[in-house]
Amino acid sequence: MQSTQETLMQIYQTLLEHLGSRGWWPADSRLEVIIGAVLTQAVAWKNVTRAINNLKSAHLININAILNINEEDLAQCIKPALYHRQKARKLKALMTFIAREYNSDLDLMFAQPLPVLREKLLAVWGIGPETADSILLYAGDKPVFVVDTYTKRIFYRLGMVDENISYQEMQEYFHNNVPPNLYIYNEYHALLVGLGANYCKKSRPGCSQCPLLKLCKYLTHLQEKY
């Protein structure tokens, strides 16, 4: 019988072979990744892309520029990302934090130890665990596993975790069973997003075409239910 570690790496290899390397996070700079991590909260990436393009056109992929622009004008600029006024406030709060704590120096910021920086990010208004960890992993090259709704849904349907598993519990599950390798953490999370978006959907999942069908208990559960 396979160990949890072996099963998780089998899932990783299967997804990598089926979906290919995801090349995630798409951005031209670390600051763009940081901004995108805020904008992507509760919205599809296509909306984030439009908002990012608006920011680029307005020369706002810049810490001081975001701090200096009127909050309502910033909100209108990122309107495609939805919840735009709230996200404008979050961007202002995050840029204020980076400017105050690190003199707007991202090298200095990411030189801090992972646990210290994570705690500081989580103390910033509007920055939750998924956003903080996305910043740490994709902008800061810190080996921390990012958990999202797809991650929980997929591993619950695989029969490997409880349906109501918390963010911290799901993250610890990966940290305890997958080597702390930056590339693997990056790719694994992106692969799970690809699987969740294209196959393991909340409603009407494409189980018959799913590359993890042989490992999954969800389709069997549905067949028994109906």
CATH code for position 218: 1.10.1670.10
How many other C-beta atoms lie within 10 A of the C-beta of residue 13?
Answer: 11
* Token pair recorded at residue 147: 């958990």
Whether residues 135 and 42 share a domain: the answer is yes
- The string of pLDDT tens digits covering residues 94-103 is 999 999 999 9
Give me the number of domains the chain comprises.
2
226 pLDDT band, cuts 50/70/90, is very low
Q: Which residue type, as a one-letter code, is found at position 119? A: E
Whether residues 77 and 165 share a domain: the answer is no
Whether residues 48 and 112 share a domain: the answer is yes
CATH code for position 127: 1.10.340.30
Would you state the torsion angle of the CA atoms of residues 66, 124, 121, 74, taken in this order, to the nearest 10 degrees?
-20
Whether residues 119 and 72 share a domain: the answer is yes
Whether residues 57 and 155 share a domain: the answer is no
Domain end position, chosen among 117, 139, 161: 139
C-beta separation of 15 from 68 below 8 A: no
Whether residues 67 and 127 share a domain: the answer is yes
d(CA 5, CA 49): 35
User: What is the domain extent for residue 217?
Assistant: 4-22+146-225
User: pTM of the predicted model, to two decimals?
Assistant: 0.95
Whether residues 177 and 111 share a domain: the answer is no
* Token pair recorded at residue 30: 């670390």
d(CA 49, CA 191): 19
Distances (CA, A) of 97 to 72, 94, 109: 20, 5, 10
From the list 21, 51, 56, the residue with the least C-alpha distance to 36 is 51
Q: What is the mean pLDDT of residues 16-40?
A: 97
Q: What is the mean pLDDT of residues 70-83?
A: 98
Burial class (CB in 10 A: 0-12, 13-18, 19+), 74: buried
Percent of the chain with pLDDT over 90: 92
Q: Is the pLDDT of residue 221 over 60?
A: no
Whether residues 73 and 123 share a domain: the answer is yes
113 pLDDT band, cuts 50/70/90, is very high
Whether residues 113 and 129 share a domain: the answer is yes
d(CA 188, CA 16): 8
Q: Is the pLDDT of residue 218 over 90?
A: no
Angle at 61 between CA 59 and CA 62, to 5 degrees: 95
- The string of pLDDT tens digits covering residues 29-72 is 999 999 999 999 999 999 999 999 999 999 999 999 999 999 99
Q: What is the mean pLDDT of residues 142-160?
A: 97
Domain end position, chosen among 114, 139, 164: 139
Angle at 126 between CA 125 and CA 130, to 5 degrees: 125
Whether residues 129 and 169 share a domain: the answer is no
